[in-house]
Structure 1
Amino acid sequence: MKMEVVDGTFLNTILLLFTTIIISKLILSFILPKSNKNLPPLVPAYPLFGGLHRFMKGPILMLNDVYPKLGSVFTLKLFHKNITFLIGPEVSSHFFKAQETDMSQQEVYQFNVPTFGPGVVFDVDYSIRQEQFRFFTEALRVNKLKSYVDQMVVEAHDYFSKWGASGEVDLKYELEHLIILTASRCLLGHEVRDKLFGDVSALFHDLDNGMLPISVLFPYLPIPAHRRRDNARKKLAEIFANIITSRKNTGKSEDDMLQCFIDSKYKDGRPTTETEVTGLLIAALFAGQHTSSITSTWTGAYLLSNKQYLSAVVDEQKKLIEKHGDRVDHDVLAEMDVLYRCIKEALRLHPPLIMLLRSSHSDFSVKTREGKEYDIPKGHIVATSPAFANRLGHIFKDPNRYDPDRFAVGREEDKVAGAFSYISFGGGRHGCLGEPFAYLQIKAIWTHLLRNFELELVSPFPEIDWNAMVVGVKGKVMVRYKRRELSVNQ
């Protein structure tokens, strides 16, 4: 009987709460003055919870349903938040070009702070973050990239030398492992690559698995995955502190991103701390590891499923061998226009980051290509989707078809509709700093494969893994290989 009374009281409290919310909204709708703003249309949703059920099924499914009905600008309510989507280059210019004071990343990406650590990226104000981005830029200058390419080529040679004369492999698995080895050598330093790779790789695995969908809303929730994440972050900090101290004590200077961060100084002359260096390295690895392994896998799946383009990239390699011999360096990779377009098209169809977010700190207006104008109030979360925008039919001809030639001179579909037509790497003020590094890494890997193996896709063409935080390839990508050395006479 006592339990029934408690349950009844609880139920009455819930009913009273819902009734109060509904009555309050009705009263406010009569009391508050009507806004003169032309707000975007709302995605149909339930009261209180808003469009949570639709959003959790997958943003792309929602966009496929909503875009044809509401157009390129619309707002989705999630609890007390308003997420306004801007789809397409005609309406997304402000998203990419606005000052940080008007359109900020910091609030929406706070869930990265436990992983990257204190004092870096989204845990600091914009002025400090800009200086830290300068450190990234300096670490990725052309002279640095040239030395990184040499290391990439060595890693690819060493890794694939372990393959036999013929066999079958899971290409996704192989490329994931090669990418982390390459990243360790170029970014984290030889101490990690040569001596601590197993330990550091396992710790990064725990960090990676600590980034869950629930982490976006509750990054400090005391769950096992978060505890493992925090423990791994602590151990990584200890490892890099020892490496940094050793380098400083011995006076050794290495050719890697770790050294660049150690040597970096803020405008006031202050050097980076061990904590900052560790956080920046983790951010760099997170930004590049998944995107490069996913894109290199999609590139391979499409090439091996489209003989026309496979023949084209092989012919390009033959011409480069005839011109440069066996030399593969930064300048040779830069000449690979056909392979570049094939990678770019795989990225268009499958950008690993399917949503980009900002927090609006000021009102702004947009005009659609149909001429409709909408006012976006400050306080809205503003979103765009590379995965959806990259397949808009009025920009890309037959948008769901793999067609690298759409980027060739004379067509250049990614430029026809103006800036921000192609946003796989973002754009504007917050474009991806690691884009050149990623292309060079993927080119180096596929150059080695194309020159040393005949490859055949034996499993079905892979599906998309929509359940991952960084959207990638679902399941295995089985490839049959046969070793052979490419020559200009073949």
Structure 2
Amino acid sequence: MDDDTTTTGHTWLLMITVFPTIIIIIATMMIARARTIPPKPPKTRRPNNQPPPVAEGAPVVGVLPAILTTSLQTVIRDQHSKLGSVFTLSSFGIKVTFLVGPKVSAHFFHGTESEISIADVYKITVPIFGKGVGYDVDNDTRNEQHSFFAGTLRPAKLRSHVGLMVREVEEYFAKWGERGTVDLKQEIDSVLMRIASRCLLGKEVRDHMHGEVSSLLHDLIGGLHLVSMFFPHLPTPAHRRRDRARARLEEIFSGIARSRKSSDRAGDDMLQALMDSRYRDGRATTEAEVTGLLVALLFAGHHTSSTVTAWTAARLLRHADWLRAATEEQGRIMHVAIDYDALLRMDVLHRSVKEALRLHPVTPMILRRARRAFAVRTEEGDEYEIPEGRMLASPLVVNNMLPGVYRDPDAFDPDRFAAGREEDRAGGELAYTSFGAGKHACMGEGYAYLQIKVILSHLLRNFELELVSPFPETEDMISMRPKGEVMVRYNRRLLQQCT
């Protein structure tokens, strides 16, 4: 495997790590607002040997009171303003060093697995995805498993997915009446699960087992709690449901695989692609590995896309000017069948999705562990040494809102990504990392944008929409989803989508 494949391979589950990321953060950083330890005077500094400044808090618990009374995001912003772009938060003897902004994040995103490890952080996923996949295997094996997805996520293959996505979306929203009020978050969840069933799991699941598979995935997600970080196999009710769901999913997917093999019938889906995959030594994937890889892909393809779609819809419905712009853009393609090329031309909608993801990242931060010590120079001109073994965090909830990168960062302004302005590019390669970056870029980004735009495009062209519930708050620092219901009133337009 070439070096590029190797260095990108260990991030194939980047967007799947939403839940474990926050569980670890909450477990390891009960950080408090408190007095800070001021940096030493310049004359006493020892380049390449001085550790980052530490936020001082209460004995043992650190700054837990500030987390509970404000939010983790507020604490990170507060310490960033006091200590600079590199600082450490400590609680219960565990230290996590935060790297805020693109100028101090190069090694975090570009370091190799032997230097900056992702696997050390996300072992919690093993009971969910299963043994022998993801973070239960060595880096080389994980890279090979990563490559199994590559063909399905390439542009040529994505083109063939669009027709299936469009069909699912049209069939689902055809059940809406002429007018009504719905919880759009729940509707988006449902239609995305149907897209995943059709494009990834195959016709057997979509036609006969969609409801059961959806319920089983819900039980898997429900098996992630704070206690899971420390006792992943503790026989709690949630863990027992998780384990039963994982076993049943393997039974379902293995049964489909055996049926296809016995009937000499192949499917055109990710399930088949994984069944046909071979390791470099010629070994075929096992049924357990196929199940684990499918479950991992479903976590990535469903939860993240559902969150981003709901936030984009809420933002558009709150900002009439951008709703109008996105709808008018749809009007220019109203008489064109929605295909891959048409989706690529939806520039306003694409930038709206990207801006919603900047304001509402699906995970508040990305975690790694330093396997080797390294030095970092801050924006303020200080140089610190990060010790071996230190947990590292790149906080998207702060990085995405830096005024030095984004003009008026609290505003919803998709034009910040328009040609000629492109604030993310002007801020450097690591200014926008909602889909990861560098060696850790998410290869599923193109697939995510496609399914999100298929759904929103259909809604904008076929319905007049109005947000009737208050603009949602963030659910919590674990899921980052919109909190509560996103109630939308709709009226069906007279002019329907061309097919």
**1:184-195 alignment, distance < 5 Å:** 184-195=197-208
1:480 pairs with 2:489: yes
Deviations 1:279-303 (A, max 9, x none): 0000001112111111111111111
CA-to-partner distance for each residue in 1:16-59, whole Å, 9 max, x for gaps? xxxxxxxxxxxxxxxxxx99711100011333444555557743
* Displacement after TM superposition at 1:216 (Å): 2.8
- How far apart are 1:217 and its partner, in Å? 3.3
1:225 pairs with 2:234:
no
The equivalent residue for 1:47 is 59
Q: How many residues were matched structurally?
A: 451
* Correspondence list, 1:229-308, <5 A: 229-308=242-321
Question: Residues 485 and 97 (structure 1 numbering): CA distance in 2 closer, same or farther, change over 3 Å?
Answer: farther
Paired letter, 1:369? E
The one-letter amino acid of 1:219's match is: P
Q: What RMSD in Å do the two structures reach over aligned CA positions?
A: 1.7
CA contact (8 A) 2:468 2:488 kept: yes
Structure 1 contact 415–421 (Cα < 8 Å) conserved: yes
Match of 1:10 in 2: none
* 1:431 and 2:444 matched: no
Work out which of the residue numbers 193, 196, 202 in structure 2 matches 1:180: 193
State the match for 1:130 in structure 2: 143
SS, match of residue 320 in structure 1: coil
* Percent of aligned positions that are identical: 51
User: Could you say if the C-alpha distance between residues 73 and 460 of structure 1 is closer, same or farther in structure 2, counting changes exceeding 3 Å?
Assistant: same
Superposition map of 1:331-480 within 5 A:
331-467=341-477, 469-480=478-489
Shift of 1:118: 0.5
* Preserved CA contact (<8 Å) 1:148 1:256: no
Instruction: Give the AA of the match of 1:313.
Output: A
Alpha-carbon deviations, 1:295-340, whole Å to 9, x = none?
A: 111111111111111111112112223xxx3411111111111110
Residue 37 of structure 1 corresponds to 49
- SS of residue paired to 2:491: strand
In the alignment, is the contact (CA less than 8 A) between 1:147 and 1:255 conserved in 2? no
Q: Does the CA-based 8 Å contact 1:361-1:378 persist in structure 2?
A: yes
* Shift in Å, 1:264: 1.1
Secondary structure of the structure 2 residue equivalent to 1:472: coil
Distance in 2, matches of 1:56 and 1:144, equals 46
Give the TM-score taking structure 2 as reference length. 0.87
Partner of 1:25: none
Report 1:176-215 matches (<5 A). Answer: 176-215=189-228
User: Matched residue of 1:74: which SS?
Assistant: strand
Code of the residue aligned with 1:283 in structure 2: it is A
Partner of 1:153: 166
Partner SS for 1:425: coil
* CA pair 201-372 structure 1, distance change in 2 beyond 3 A: same
Letter in 1 for 2:57: A
Using the TM superposition, name which of 105-114 and 44-53 deviates more: 44-53
Separation in 1, partners of 2:371, 2:325: 48
Query: What 5-or-longer segments of structure 1 have no aligned partner?
Result: 1-33
- Where 1:356 maps in the other structure, the secondary structure is strand
**TM-aligned CA distance change 1:485 to 1:71, over 3 Å:** farther
Q: State the TM-score, normalized to the length of structure 1.
A: 0.89
Write the distance in 2 (CA, Å) between the matches of 1:192 and 1:369.
52
Matched with 1:327 is 337
1: CA distance, partners of 2:48 / 2:102: 26
Aligned to 1:67: 80
Amino acid in the other structure paired with 1:234:
A
Secondary structure of the residue aligned to 1:398 is: coil
Q: Deviations over 1:266-290 (max 9, x none)?
A: 1111111111100000000111211
- Give 1:407 deviation, angstroms: 0.2
The alpha-carbon deviation at position 65 of structure 1 amounts to 2.1
In the TM superposition, what is the alpha-carbon distance from 1:80 to its structure 2 partner?
A: 3.5
Cα deviation for residue 162 of structure 1 reads 0.2
* 2:36 paired residue number: none
Give the secondary-structure state (helix, strand or coil) at the position aligned to 2:474.
Answer: strand
Q: Is the 8 A contact 1:450 1:486 kept in 2?
A: no
Inter-partner Cα distance in structure 1 for 2:243 and 2:405? 44
In the alignment, structure 2 segments of 5+ residues that lack a partner are 1-45
Secondary structure of the structure 2 residue equivalent to 1:234: helix
Deviation of residue 73 (structure 1)?
A: 0.6
Amino acid at match of 2:203: H
Question: Is the contact made by 2:48 and 2:385 (CA closer than 8 Å) also made in structure 1?
Answer: no
